[in-house]
Structure 1
Amino acid sequence: MELVDEKLRAITVILRAARSIEDVVRKDVTCYGLNTTEFAVLEALYHKGDLPIQIISKKILIASSSITYVVDKLEQKNLVRRSGCANDRRITYASLTEQGHTLMDDIFPKHKAKMAQLFNDMEEQSLHDMNEALKQIGIKSQSL
């Protein structure tokens, strides 16, 4: 097979794998009454602590216009609360509520185990090589 064809095939394989992984993630978090974006916000706050809403938007790669809606939904579920920044009124922080912490303490280990199952059949070196290759592709794609 010609090298150009193999490169095009690689793109198809990566995109199909990404869709399949997204489906696994979606099914997993739906079990907890969340969508993937809500879970991503909770996960960011769970691991990073209180964050400005604008930073959350950048971390989980969603539009800043959408993050407000997602945080609103999480507030309605009493999982997240907003608070203003004492030094800059333009900045609003989001933080997990006690109920949000309790939920993440319960579901994150299960989610982590489920995601790890995706890679159970891979050798550690293969997993490392794959991560490095995907990083290189990501970096290269940003420069095109």
Structure 2
Amino acid sequence: MNKLDKLLTENQLDLKTMIVFRKAERKIRALEHRAIKENKLTPTQFAVLETLYSKGDLRIQDLIDKMLATSGNMTVVIKNMVRDGLIFRTCDPHDRRSFLVGLTEQGRAKVEEILPDHIRSVNAALAVLDSQDKEDLIRILKKFKNLS
């Protein structure tokens, strides 16, 4: 048995776990994004709307941190969403070097329109799990939070 075959054999359970995890994540993401795509938004645009809806106005860096996004991509997303009238951007009154972003009335109406369908999609994706399974999955997935 060569080194690669030995490595594959010794790590078969880890590799299988990762494959099953990725397949499940892909299926869940597809269901979750259905309502978003039907409303002609990207997942990132919806995440911006949903985050601002739940957290209120945020500094751009705080929004990026909460969404675990990159600043390069977010710059374009925010610019386009301001252009489309979904969010506003203004100077932070507490720090003139920073900008705040928040929902416009049009953005609030859009997220309130999409959120019920989005929640139903999430429910459908997780319907294969009972409450205990969901609690167990949360507990297991939290073990990954300190990986670097």
TM-score when normalising by structure 2:
0.87
- The match for 2:130 is 123
| Residue identity matched to 1:8 | L
Distance 2:113 2:10 in 1: 47
Distance 1:121 1:27 in 2: 18
- The match for 2:42 is 35
Provide Cα deviations, 1:25-59, integer angstroms capped at 9, x if missing partner: 33321111100110111110010000111111111
Q: How many residue pairs are counted as aligned between the two chains?
A: 140
Greater RCO (Cα-Cα under 8 Å, separation 6 or more): 2
SS at match of 1:81: strand
- The match for 2:86 is 79
Match of 1:17 among 6, 18, 24: 24
- The match for 2:64 is 57
Q: Give yes or no for the alignment of 1:107 onto 2:107.
A: no
Percent pairwise identity: 31
Q: Give yes or no for the alignment of 1:135 onto 2:145.
A: no
- 1:25–1:36 contact (8 Å) kept in structure 2: no
> What is the deviation of 1:123?
1.2
Structure 1 residue runs without a partner (length 5+): none
Match of 1:5 among 5, 12, 21: 12
Rg (Cα) greater in structure: 2
